[in-house]
Each structure stands twice: as structure tokens, then as C-alpha cells.
Amino acid sequence: MFTTEQIKAAHSKVKSGANFPHYVQDLIQLGVTFYEAYVTDGHINYFGRDNYQTSAASKYDPLVIAEESNIAQFQQDLKAHQQGQTDYMTFCKDCARSGVEKWAVCMEQMTCTYYDKAGNEMLMEIIPGA
């Protein structure tokens, strides 16, 4: 099974959203099947086969998630991040400002889905390179 240290090593290669598809491929090779990343403090829950689960602790001081989601602003910020224009922390702050509480990545479906505080789906994307 995978460890948080292995995941951190894979994540250390990520400089912007442009590197995300490669990161997902690295996680698949480790055996990660699904994960949820929480914008509030950056903690992430990772899941694998046979009910295996591990978590990465919070990475930064808590961010306030906007009560009202702004999908249009989020889509602009996401596009900029995917083009390598912002780093991870900037992206997390942009997510909080737009009302994104978390994103969930499903390796089987190769999707990344963003959710607001009420659990509503804001956007679902197919991960490139699937």
C-alpha cells in the first residue's frame, strides 16, 4: 500500500495545474484509487483498494470558504492554474474565494469534481491524458 511520504514525493513534482495529469498517473501507479482534497486547510484523504485509506495533514492556515459559489470566477481561476499561471497555494485561495470546499479525484473515471460547501457539484472535468 502507498504512504503519505510516497504521495508527497509525487506531489513535489507538481509546480502548477499543468502538471496535474502526470501527478494523477503517479498516484495511480502507487495504488491510489480516489482522493478528496479540502480547500479549508489542505488536508487530503486518500483511498486505495481493499478499503485502504490514509490522510495527509493540513498544509496551511485555514482559509475561509465563500458561502456563495461563483462558478464563472472559479472556471477562470482553474483555467489560469491549468495553464501554469498560478501555484498551488494561489489556486487554493482562488478556490476558497469562489466557494469551492473540496475537489474529489476518481482514478477509475479519470475525473476531478469540485464541490461547494453545500455539497453541490460546481464542475466536473475529465483529466487529460486518460
pLDDT for 93-119, tens place per residue?
Answer: 999 999 999 999 999 999 999 999 999
| The pLDDT value given to residue 82 | 87
What is the maximum alpha-carbon separation in the chain?
39
Adjacency order of strands within the sheet including 32-38: 53-56, 44-48, 32-38, 100-106, 111-116, 121-126
Reply yes or no on domain 4-125 having CATH 3.30.1810.10: yes
- For residue 88, the tally of other CB atoms under 10 A from its CB is 17
Distance in angstroms between the alpha carbons of the first and the last residue of the chain: 23
Q: What is the pLDDT of residues 39-91, one digit of tens each?
A: 999 999 999 999 999 999 998 999 999 999 999 999 999 999 988 898 889 99
The pTM (predicted TM-score) of the whole model is 0.90
In whole angstroms, give the CA distance from residue 80 to residue 86: 7
Position with higher pLDDT, 2 vs 15:
2
Q: Which residue has the cell 482553474?
A: 78
